[in-house]
Structure 1
Amino acid sequence: MLKFKEKNIQISMVIITLVMTILRFLLNEKGRITPDSIRFMRSAHVFPEIDNTITPLGYIFSIKLFTFLGIDEFWSSKLVGIFSFLGIIFLAKKFNFFLREAVITCSLFAFVSIFAATYTETLTLFSVFVLFLVSNSVINEKWNQIQAFIYLSLSLILIFNIRYSALFIVGGTGLFGLISVKKNYGKIFIFSAITAGLYIILYKFLFIDEFNKNYVSEFLEIGLKLTSVLITEFFQGLATSFNPFVHIANPGGGIINLAIYGIGAVNILAIIFLFIKNRLSEIEKYMILIGVSGIICSYFIQYFYSTDALDYRLLCAFNFPIWLVYFKKLFSILDLKIYIIGVLSLITGFVFTWLSKGNYLENREKISKFLQKEKLDNVPLKFYVNDLDDLEKVNICELISTVNSDIDFTFKAEDSLKKSTLTAHKVLQKIKIDKNKYQ
């Protein structure tokens, strides 16, 4: 009876999470797009031409695949997010691997936001779950050593081809192998990490250097931020990432942030307590090691590699396994009551999304008509801005990219004189955009 009840709960939560994911980008004035999203969609549009190496090709290729169904890059990216979510649930169900934990973790508002956005993290989460599934089979010796080595190596390489921060996961895998070297699977983890590491080296020389010789010199820079700033951002990022209800703090500050950070901080303490008090299985140890080492490396890489401030998005691949193990421990204590957390998170997410809504479909229609009238809907475009921090203008370019993905920023004022170069003024004098007042 309890199993039947839980099955219904899980089905309901998966359906509601799917609906929430769709609403999350439809009830947003620009469809959950960022400047990075513009690059992803443009790269997918021109593929197999390589226009940059800032991001691996995995996510870009996945968007391109869906365009063969006859849809554009924007809708393709949304299908990648939706299928990444459903893929995690499908694998969890098929292999009986962290199913209840995957259902509730994916229902958290932060992860709904990830799956709804045009981010590499959507596919990264799916590939990370595949890695843990493969690792579990390796630890339980379901394959012979050669098979285990091949599958684990390919899983690590897959993640790197989606996101460069997989380098941390490769390192964590090697570390886990060293810790477990006396066990049968220890050497498999070590050699798989070494193989993935060799692949990364070859990737750097044969791909990155081939198309962008200045990539490393452009992105490596010592002393980008003061330690005091990085530590503050780090703890704020952790607190919001581990808040099961709200993953975004008010940039303007205020007392509400104390509650947001406070819930996250208390939750982190609860996680630490449960992990210390309860015995961990080998796969749980591996997952936690990947999560913790990834978070630590994400912090230190900021000292010489230009990244945005750490937040729920940049940390999601590493807090994802921690959430899974955390919920497994909570289920062992409170059983079905834990689903309440997912329900409350979905409710919070819906309220937040509704209050801050902007009509993407309406805005898309306006932009489409504007581009068609100006005969700019099927030609390469530029969008002039002085600074990418000027969100009012950048948001317009983001919205345009959802209709014509072959667009890029330009910072040259003289370019604004060209017909194929748009500006905020050129657009707003012709149309009015339904804006998200909480942007």
Structure 2
Amino acid sequence: MKAKAVIYNLTTAILIKLKEKNIQISMVIITLVMTILRFLLNEKGRVTPDGIRFMRSAHVFPDIDNTITPFGYILSIKFFTLFGLDEFWSSKLVGIFSFLSIIFIAKKANFYFREAVLTCSLFGFVSIFAATFSETLTLLSVFILIFVSEQVLKSKWNSKKEIIYLSLSLILIFNIRYSALFIIGGTGLLGLLSLRKKYGKSFLLAAVIAGMYIICYKLLFIDIFNKNYVNESLEMGLKPTIQLLTEFYQGLTTSFNPFVHIANPGGGIINWGIYGIGFLNILLLIFFLFRKKLSDIEKYMLFIGVSGIICSFLIQYFYSADALGYRLLAPFTFPIWLIYFKRLFENFGLKVYLIGVMSLCTGFAFTILSKGNYLENRKQISTYLKKEKLDKVPLIFYINDMDDLEKVQISELIGTVNSNIYITSQPKDTLKKTTLTPYKVLQKIKIDKNKYQ
């Protein structure tokens, strides 16, 4: 009877494993397809003014025209252009590469694999991988940092290697996003609080080395190419606290809503549902996170996640930034989602994959409803620019009101074809031959726009 029970349990375990493997493969494939659909079924290929700046910087490199962001993401776009792609398609390849790399590392190292598959399938993260955002590469670098940290916590290397690998991981993230300062600070603080433990010294010294790198970076790069950057960027009292707290609540609840990561800017009752689901999910997250004792790596992931979110809020008192949302918070919510899903898998098993399935279904419905034909729009813009002999020259696009999103979107679409484009609000610039206006463009072409802005 004992032998039969062992065989039965073993067979059941194998069948469950095989079933889960099929689920994981399916979810990775569907997530990849959804990522591609997200930028193809969009009238401007999911590009923002920041995205245009990234592509332009990659286009003109090695000339330096930008110190607002580090060059890690820009150079990754430049790298893929070496294979004959333009900056737009290169940026999309970076997103796909980042997603597949996270899955590959997780599988190869047997490190949060099913959690990574599920987290990356969430609609919010699919949207990040599909867009021309530096966050897409940041997510990969954060995952690498978490993996390296676990090796340090498990004492897999000697002290010298631990410090070197941790330092390089932190520096890598900083070279993609300046908000890595929060992760570096969190790592150093955790090391300081854990000095009595073996790994405390490694975390603290790695953060100190990364901090020294940042100082050198400022003196040898930012101060040379844009010496007034810090003084111009730091301002006091940009927004009242009540507005910051409101935006923080909205950003946090949409970031932790597994199905919908954006709300209606015009308000309405639907937003109550979006924010409400996110808020309830945060309460569940807190419950499951502290229901069981956290491991050392989970403590680190939670520490850098929460400290990063808090610092992202506080920095707004001194630094002009977009309102906090799923995109800006993604590098910090990502490790928290991994821990959360690990807890859910421990309690509910394979049923947890339904969250990813529902999120992908919601994303697909949203994408279809709001679709615009990027390929057709790109064809129209390409034909127009070639006809006007403006496809290979630096362009200026005049917009008198940057809050007019319809006009901004035209510039973003043009930027996916000719990334060497600058936005101006100076009427005198319209006298130049290489200056385009919304009126000029819409006289010659018709753009397939989203029905649901």
> Is 1:222 aligned to 2:240, yes or no?
no
Structure 2 distance, partners of 1:100, 1:182, is 33
* Pairing of 1:1-400 with structure 2 (within 5 A): 1-400=15-414
Deviant stretches of 4+, over 6 Å: none
Amino acid in structure 1 at the alignment position of 2:109: F
3-state SS, counterpart of residue 237 of structure 2 = coil
3-state SS, counterpart of residue 293 of structure 2 = coil
Structure 1 distance, partners of 2:350, 2:255, is 24
1:226-278 alpha-carbon deviations (Å, 9 max, x no partner): 00000000001000000000000011111111100000000000111111211
The normalised TM-score by structure 1 is 0.99
Structure 2 distance, partners of 1:387, 1:253, is 22
Structure 1 distance, partners of 2:106, 2:244, is 36
* 1:317, distance to aligned residue in structure 2 (A): 0.3
* 1:214, distance to aligned residue in structure 2 (A): 1.1
Amino acid in structure 1 at the alignment position of 2:212: L
3-state SS, counterpart of residue 290 of structure 2 = helix
> Is 1:434 aligned to 2:445, yes or no?
no
* 1:388, distance to aligned residue in structure 2 (A): 2.0
Rg larger in structure: 2
Structure 1 distance, partners of 2:185, 2:452, is 39
3-state SS, counterpart of residue 402 of structure 1 = helix
Structure 2 distance, partners of 1:337, 1:292, is 27
3-state SS, counterpart of residue 287 of structure 1 = helix
* 1:286, distance to aligned residue in structure 2 (A): 0.2
* 1:329, distance to aligned residue in structure 2 (A): 0.3
The normalised TM-score by structure 2 is 0.96
Amino acid in structure 2 at the alignment position of 1:422: L
Aligned pairs, how many? Answer: 439
3-state SS, counterpart of residue 444 of structure 2 = coil
Deviates more, 1:380-389 or 1:317-326: 380-389
> Is 1:418 aligned to 2:418, yes or no?
no
Q: Which residue of 1 aligns with 2:8?
A: none
1:369-411 alpha-carbon deviations (Å, 9 max, x no partner): 0001000001110101123222111100100010011111112
Deviates more, 1:78-87 or 1:211-220: 211-220
Q: Which residue of 1 aligns with 2:10?
A: none
Q: 1:171 to 1:111 in 2, by over 3 A?
A: same
Root-mean-square deviation (CA, aligned residues, Å) is: 0.6
* 1:279, distance to aligned residue in structure 2 (A): 1.2
Amino acid in structure 2 at the alignment position of 1:167: L
1:295-325 alpha-carbon deviations (Å, 9 max, x no partner): 0000000001000000000000000000000
Structure 2 runs not aligned, ≥5 long: 1-14
1:135-188 alpha-carbon deviations (Å, 9 max, x no partner): 000101111110110000000000000000000000010111122211111100
Amino acid in structure 2 at the alignment position of 1:231: L
